Structures are given as structure tokens and as C-alpha cells.
Amino acid sequence: MVMGVGAQARMRAWLFLCLLICGGVWGATPSLARLATSEGADPLGLAVWQGVLGGLTLLIVTLIRKRRLPLGRSHLKFYFVCGNSGTLLPNVVMFSAAPHITVGAMSMIISMVPLLTYVQSLLVRIDRPSLARLSGILLGALAIALLVLPGGDDASSSAPMWIAIAIIIPLSFGFESVFVAVRRPPETDSITLVAGMLLAGGAMLAPIVLLTGTALPLYPPWGTVEWATVGMVMCNVASYSLFLYLIALSGPVFAVQSSYFVTLFGILWGMLIFGEQHPVWFWLALGLLFAGMALVKARPVGSAVR
């Protein structure tokens, strides 16, 4: 069925609105992480709820859709590998680094997922070298180099070290994306797989949290930590579901542009909530990063979990 000009214009407007909403919601996560950690929440206690609550939410969605969560050996291996690389490790690192670097810098680092996914896809030979894409990787590296310069990020004196540590976040998501590309069970839909990944990540971390006494009770009355924790879960579930919706409606090439809006909104949320002001080096780094992302335009190797 061919749409008329008016219908096409409305569809484009709707898709762009979805892109904005996805970026705005997803981009709020670094600010919520800083809100929670600034109030003393332990990174492990925060991370376990992202897996457990997020996984249970998507599991309920799966059951409502009259689908089941496969628990065969291949599926369990997939859940636990992706749960570690897409939930446990990046969340723990993000929550640990959040008090030490600005929300804006964290947003830029997270947005490097497409660049580092491409690097890892080259290593396992599921993508081909390209001069333009390799130039994009170089620009991304230069952007991070500018961030670690004195004054490039003003959160704390230890910011350069924590920025370097935070690179683990996009590296881990990139590994997950490549693993999804080569080992994804073809007969299972994305929402069901993500439910399994999140639950597996929460299950792996829960014993550590209990043994270390870092559990975060969500008993009422709720304060900043509790609201921020649940807010992150809802932001991740909502934005990822919307991302999948965009892929289904417009294809992955259009949907992956949400990464630009995630970065921009992440920076804006940091400025609005924490009054962050960034030096000229930061904005130059952002320009280099966006140029690098435009050059890479990474063919989606998989869907990283937030």
C-alpha cells in the first residue's frame, strides 16, 4: 500500500518524534545514576535492580504477548554472556564512575558504542575495514583525549582516570552487540531475549550484593535514591522498547540515529539538573565525536542493552 504525500509527512514527523523521545528518555540515565550515587547508593546495589526489575518488567510484557522465556542450554548461555556484558559490567562501571565525572562526559562516553562495536566486529571478521570508518574511530579517540586533558571535564581531579575506566562501558556494550550478531537464537524475539539477559545479569550479581552487604532496599518511604533507581529501570525499558519499535517501523539505519539524541539530551539533562557548564575542550570533543559517529555509521551488529 502506497501512502500519500500527507501520510508520508505525518509518518516522518511521527518517527522523528519517537527518535526525540527515545533520546530524551535514554539520555536521562546518566543524570539519574549521578543522583543516586551522590546520595550514597552503592554501585552494586543499583546495578542488581537494573537487571532484576528491568528483566521482570520485560518478562511480564513477554507473558502478556503469550510468549515464553526459553530456558534451553543455548539460550541460558546467551542470557548469561549478554547479561554480564550488557547489564552487570557496564552498569557497575557507570555507577562507580558517576560521582567522579560530569553527566555530559558520561553521555559522550556511552555514545561511543557504535564506534567500538565496529572495532570489535573487525577483530572477529564480521565486518570489513573501511578508510572512512577507521577515520571515524580516530576522531572518537581524539574526542576522548580532549576530555582527559586538564579542564576537559570538571567533575573532579580524578576525572581523567575515571573517564579512562568508563571506556569499559561502550567496550562491554560493543562486545555484547557482536556476540548478539553471531550467537543470537534466531527463533526468539528481541524483547524476550532482553528479558532473559537482564534477569541473568541480576541473578549473577545478586549473590555478590548479598555477601558484600551492598543491597539497596526499596522500602517506603522513597527518597532520591529509590526514585532514581526505579527511574533508571523505567527509562531503560521504555527507551529500549521504543528503539525496537523504530527498528521495526523504519529500519536499523534510521533507529541508530537515536545515539546522537541520547548524547545531546544526556548533556542537556546534566546542565538542567546539576547546572553543569562545560569548557571549550568539551564542545570540541563533542564535535569530533559526532563527526566520528557520522563516518562510522556502524551497520548495526546487534542491539546493545542499556
- Give the pLDDT confidence of 108-145 residue by residue, as tens digits: 999 888 888 888 888 888 788 888 888 988 998 999 88
Distances (CA, A) of 118 to 129, 184, 197, 290: 9, 18, 22, 15
DSSP 68-99: ----SHHHHHHHHHHHIIIIIHHHHHHHHHTT
In our burial notation (b when 16+ CB lie closer than 10 A, e otherwise), range 142-169 reads: bbbebbbeeebbbbeeebbebbebbebb
Residue 104 DSSP label: H
Residue 186, SS3 per DSSP: coil
**Tell me, what's the pLDDT at 176?**
87
- 4: CB partners within 8 A, 6+ apart: none
Whether the per-residue pLDDT at 63 is higher than 50: the answer is yes
For residue 134, count CB atoms less than 10 angstroms from its CB and return exposed for 0-12, middle for 13-18, buried for 19 or more: middle
Q: What is the DSSP string of 146-176?
A: HHTSTTS--S-TTHHHHHHHHTHHHHHHHHH
pLDDT band at 305 (very low <50, low <70, confident <90, very high): very low
d(CA 126, CA 94): 28
Tens digits of per-residue pLDDT, 159-202?
788 988 999 999 998 898 888 888 888 888 889 999 999 999 99
- DSSP state, 196? H
Residue 36 confidence class, pLDDT cut points 50, 70, 90 = very high
Domain ranges of the chain: 27-296
**Which bin fits 277, alpha (ψ -120 to 50), beta or left (φ > 0)?**
beta
Residue type, 231: G
Summarize the confidence of residues 28-52 as an average pLDDT. 93
* 2 compared with 255, residue with greater pLDDT: 255
- pTM higher than the cut 0.95: no
Average pLDDT of the chain, as a whole number: 87
Query: pLDDT class for 303, splitting at 50, 70, 90?
Result: very low
All three cell numbers of 139, joined, read 576522531
State the cell numbers at 282: 568539551
Q: What angle in degrees, to the nearest 10, is found between the helix axes of 224-250 and 29-38?
A: 170
Which of 21-35, 102-116, 146-160, 171-185 bottoms out in mean pLDDT, i.e. has the lowest?
Answer: 146-160
Per the listing, cell 505525518 goes with 10
Q: Residues 243-298: pLDDT tens digits?
A: 878 877 777 667 777 888 989 999 999 999 999 988 888 899 999 999 988 888 64
